[in-house]
Amino acid sequence: MAAADSKRWSNLVFAGLFALAIVLFSRILLPFMMPVLLGGFLVVLFFPIQDFLCRRLKGHTPVCATLSTLAVFLLILLPLAGVGWLVGRELLLLATNLPTVLEHVDVRQELIANLPPGLSRYVSTETVGSELEKALVSGATASATVLRHAVGLGSAFVVNLFLMMVAMYYFFLDGRRLYAEAIRLIPLDKRYIQGFSRDFVDVAYAIVYGNTVTAIVQGAVGLAGMLIVGVPHAGVWGAAMVIAALVPVVGTGLVWVPISLLLVLSGRVGDGLFLAGWGALVVGTIDNFIRPRLCGSRMALHPLLVFLSMFGGVAVFGMMGMLVGPLIASLFMAMVRIYRRDFLGITQPVFPVPPAEPPSAAAPSVLGVQPGLSASSVET
């Protein structure tokens, strides 16, 4: 009896210490969740590169993991560096020519001249001048604030990029072993784990595919607006819109708002107002219709759930919510499907599910490891 009590108390103490260790370890990892999770998504997408290199190099896994990580790094860095160099060159040219342009343009007269005839008679130069001065001061202050935050985000981006590369290397190297070990330790039916892992793969594909296509569409629509008003080097700013579209909340406004303001300051008030309206009403809203449909088609989620999970995720987790929000929503719906099927006996889906792709085209689980495999079989 005493031995049984001692064993029970030992188990309780171990459970308490284990729970405390999990909480503390989670607190340590939480600040790095965004780069690690993004690294996991990218590894799921690009793991065929790792398999191809391992076949070519005959199993030199560390070398293959290094080459796979470098390939993904260059795939991300080269477009960003190219667009950044082009945008920086345009900004330098703009900073050189803007003072000369402003000296020869009376913005107040240009603004009144471009107003509709029915309104220009009710607007005085003094009123426009004072309001325009306030708007310019406010815009300059906001631009300085955005620039200051951008510098801070730039340093944070470098750190997160480094952490993401480290996480990707070890996921490429030991991802299958870690996945198989997690399956062996989690006391859950293997069918459920298989469903969760498939949902993780679907979310990874959907987020990357949906956000990339949406950013390209927004960049193309923004490019069309800039070509209409005749913005110089519109292709560069269109490429910058593609990159900016990946930033939550502000998005493409980082590009078309300053350009619209510069058009007004240079005397092209009508073009500036048109571009501002085009950016706010067309470019800035089109992603609310495209992204949920693209992501929901792969995740088997209703577009409304995708829309709410993305914006709710950003509101709760910040930028990380773009990844975490749809992932949580997808896992939640997977558990709802399991509950309806296995506990309630309901087999008819609530929402139509897209037809499954053939096994050769879709990975059955994370990193291609079947849930029934043991850790030993993966290691060998």
Give per-residue pLDDT as tens, 213-231. Answer: 888 999 999 999 999 988 8
CA atoms within 13 Å, Cβ hemisphere of 239: 14
- 273, 240 Cβ separation under 8 angstroms: no
Task: Work out the pLDDT band at 151, boundaries 50, 70, 90.
Answer: low
> Residue 273 pLDDT > 80, yes or no?
yes
Which two tokens mark 28?
A: 């340590």
> Residue 298 pLDDT > 90, yes or no?
no
Q: Which residue in this structure is represented by tokens 């499954």?
A: 356
Report the predicted TM-score, pTM, of the whole model to 2 decimal places: 0.66
Model pLDDT, residue 154: 62
Lowest mean pLDDT among 47-61, 136-150, 273-287, 328-342: 136-150
Intra-chain end-to-end CA distance of the chain, in Å: 45
Return all residues near 51 (Cβ < 8 A) that are at least 6 apart.
368
- 167, 35 Cβ separation under 8 angstroms: yes
Which two tokens mark 342?
A: 């296995």
- Write phi, then psi, for 134 (nearest 5 degrees): -60, -40
Largest CA distance in the chain: 98
Which two tokens mark 107?
A: 């913005």
> Residue 20 pLDDT > 90, yes or no?
yes
Cβ neighbour number for residue 300 with a 10 Å cutoff? 20
What are the C-alpha distances in Å from 57 to residues 53, 54, 60, 106, 195?
Answer: 6, 5, 6, 67, 33
Give 74-81's long-range contacts (Cβ < 8 A, gap of 24+). 76/161, 79/243, 80/243
What are the C-alpha distances in Å from 318 to residues 214, 241, 248, 274, 314?
Answer: 20, 21, 8, 31, 4
d(CA 289, CA 279): 15
Lowest mean pLDDT among 91-105, 138-152, 283-297: 138-152
